[in-house]
Amino acid sequence: MLEKVLVNYGIDKFQCDISTIGNGLINNTWLLISKNQTYILQRVNNDVFIHPEDIDNNILLVTNYFKKNYPDYFFVSPIKALNGKTMIFVEKEGYFRMFPYVKNSKTILATQSPKQSYEAAKAFGKFTKLLSNISLKEFKIVIPDFHNLSLRFQQFKMAIKNASSTRIDQAQTSIDYLLRQEIIVNEYEHIVQNNLLKYRITHYDTKISNVLFTQNDENLCVIDLDTIMPGYFISDVGDMIRTYVCPVTEEEPNIEKIIFREDYFEEILHGYLEQMKNDLTDTEIGYIVYSGKFMIYMQAIRFLTDYLNNDIYYGAKYEQNNLVRTNNQIALLKKLIEKESQLNQIVINVCKKLNS
């Protein structure tokens, strides 16, 4: 299969070493070593991204903007194929693109220190800040309604209506809890209806594995730009909170292991606000803690929706995998809500420190 792809880049499959890398649920990724050059090859999942060419459009807009306005900003751009395009289509195989491999870099699958939280948040903050003046009009919406919480909540309620009695019984406690938290949806709708947050370029997938690090845990650059499109900062900051503050992933079935690490939360704020403090409004800063609730809650209802729909989106490694994921996120949401006033005070303290 890859032979048909690599010929588009002038690479002979039989003269390179190829290995599968990454643990992403969406795209397939390979590491290629050819004639002392190393590359990353990726196949874009066009079941999730209906129009892969829109991803290419958005990445090229960002690439060209950085080259023109911030030529010293380190950014990994896609490599052009022999036809001059940065994304190719191979019949019966799909859409592919290639990137240069950054030597002496590493990715981190789970946040292991407050410093890593700081560095990743700083990277995403700088990325967003540098793009603060880019025109949004030519950007495509690669996944419509991706973080539309109102729609996700409606899909959740529809799944409850259509689910089997067996799955409803197994998930009833989780269903009841998430329905009682509808106030999070109401707040999102209040934000949207009153234009409380600025519409800006958003990464939409700020897990720590989407930052390249040096061997000394300093950030090099942001990667995986498939989901960049206009949106709200709560998507990026909220997903950093969701994925950095807990020492275990959403796959962890043992609820006792789920904790909310305040020092990691504080370092997210330090890193992000060092870059974005002059770009966020006071209203937006007031929604930082809410951003965590927003993303954790949305991920919980998406997992539970999929469970009730018989695991058709995320898939499942075992029968109740998506219910386990749901309860994991519910536990994290509860931890955040318990500490909410404390976390708001941390926001105030960090802002004071950065402004002093």
Taking the chain (356 residues) in runs of 10, the rounded mean pLDDT of each run is 87 84 72 87 82 94 97 94 93 90 92 97 98 96 96 98 97 98 98 97 96 95 94 98 96 97 98 97 97 98 97 91 98 98 98 92
What does the pLDDT read at residue 187? Answer: 98
pTM: 0.93
What does the pLDDT read at residue 16? Answer: 84
Please, where in the chain does CATH 3.30.200.20 lie? 2-100
- CATH 3.90.1200.10 assigned to domain 114-355? The reply is yes
Written as one letter, the residue type at 137 is K
Cβ-Cβ contacts under 8 Å for 94 (sequence gap 6 or more):
43, 44, 46
What does the pLDDT read at residue 24? Answer: 59
pLDDT in tens, 242-301: 999 999 999 999 999 999 999 999 999 999 999 999 999 999 999 999 999 999 999 999
As a CATH number, domain 2-100 is: 3.30.200.20
What is the spatial distance between Cα 27 and Cα 256, in angstroms, rounded to a whole number? Answer: 32
Mean pLDDT of the chain: 94
pLDDT in tens, 190-200: 999 999 999 99
Q: Are 323 and 174 in contact (CB under 8 A)?
A: yes
Please, where in the chain does CATH 3.90.1200.10 lie? 114-355
Straight-line distance from the first to the last Cα atom of the chain, in angstroms, rounded to the nearest whole number: 58
